[in-house]
Amino acid sequence: MPATSPSPPSPPPPFLRDTPADLARTVALLRGGEIVALPTETVYGLAADALNESAVRRIFEAKGRPLLDPLIVHIAALADAARIATLPPALEKLAARFWPGPLTVVLQKKSNVPALVTAGLETVAVRCPAHPLTQKVLRLSGLFLAAPSANPFGYISPTRAAHVRDSLREKAPWVLDGGECRHGLESTILLLTDPARPRLLRPGPVSREELEDVLQTSVETAASPPPPAAAPALAPGMLARHYSPRTPIVLRDTGELPALRGVSGEAVLWLRRPPVPTPQAADFWLSETGDTAEIARHIFALLRRLDAGNFSLIHAELTDGLGLGTAINDRLRRASAR
Ligand code: TXA
Ligand code: MG
Q: How far is the CA of 261 from the centre of ligand 2 (A)?
A: 32
219-234 mean pLDDT: 58
| Per-residue model confidence (pLDDT) at position 222 | 87
Check pLDDT > 90 for residue 180.
yes
Of 55-64, 169-178, 275-284, 328-337, where does mean pLDDT reach its minimum?
A: 275-284
**What ranges in 51-191 are assigned the alpha helix state H?**
53-63, 78-81, 90-98, 115-118, 132-141, 161-168
CB 302 within 8 A of CB 269: yes
Check pLDDT > 70 for residue 240.
no
Residue to probe by mutation, ligand 1, list 67, 186, 224, 241, most atoms within 8 Å of CB: 186
Q: How far is the CA of 243 from the centre of ligand 1 (A)?
A: 13
11-32 mean pLDDT: 97
CA 219, CA 287: separation in Å to the nearest integer? 30
Exposed/middle/buried for residue 236 (C-beta within 10 Å: 0-12, 13-18, 19+) = middle
13-28 mean pLDDT: 98
| Per-residue model confidence (pLDDT) at position 2 | 54
| Per-residue model confidence (pLDDT) at position 4 | 60
Check pLDDT > 90 for residue 239.
no
Q: How far is the CA of 50 from the centre of ligand 2 (A)?
A: 17
Percent of the chain clearing pLDDT 90 (strictly above):
87
| Per-residue model confidence (pLDDT) at position 235 | 52
The pTM (predicted TM-score) of the whole model is: 0.94
157-167 mean pLDDT: 97
Q: Which of the ligands is closest to the CA of residue 189?
A: 1
| Mean pLDDT computed over every residue of the chain | 93
Q: How far is the CA of 318 from the centre of ligand 1 (A)?
A: 24
Fold entry, domain 249-336: Rossmann fold (3.40.50)
| Per-residue model confidence (pLDDT) at position 11 | 85
Write the residue with the smallest CA distance to atom 6 of ligand 1: 45
| Per-residue model confidence (pLDDT) at position 163 | 98
Check pLDDT > 70 for residue 234.
no
Answer CATH for 20-215 from 3.40.50.970, 3.90.870.10, 3.40.50.720, 3.40.50.1440:
3.90.870.10
CA 155, CA 147: separation in Å to the nearest integer? 16
Q: How far is the CA of 12 from the centre of ligand 1 (A)?
A: 27
Ligand 1 site residues, Cβ closer than 6 angstroms: 40, 42-43, 45, 69-72, 104, 106, 118, 121, 123-125, 127, 129, 147-149, 186-187, 189, 201, 234-237
Check pLDDT > 50 for residue 227.
no
- Bridge partners of residue 249, in order along the sequence: 314
Which residues, chain by chain, have CB under 5 Å from ion ligand 2?
A: 149
Q: Where in the chain are all domains bearing CATH 3.90.870.10?
A: 20-215
Of 7-11, 102-106, 144-148, 231-235, where does mean pLDDT reach its minimum?
A: 231-235
The pLDDT confidence band at residue 244, using thresholds 50, 70 and 90, is confident
Q: Where in the chain are all domains bearing CATH 3.40.50.11030?
A: 249-336
Of 5-14, 43-52, 76-85, 247-256, where does mean pLDDT reach its minimum?
A: 5-14
Write the residue with the smallest CA distance to atom 13 of ligand 1: 148
User: How far apart, in Å, are the Cα atoms of 60 and each of 54, 63, 110, 124, 302?
Assistant: 10, 5, 22, 17, 26
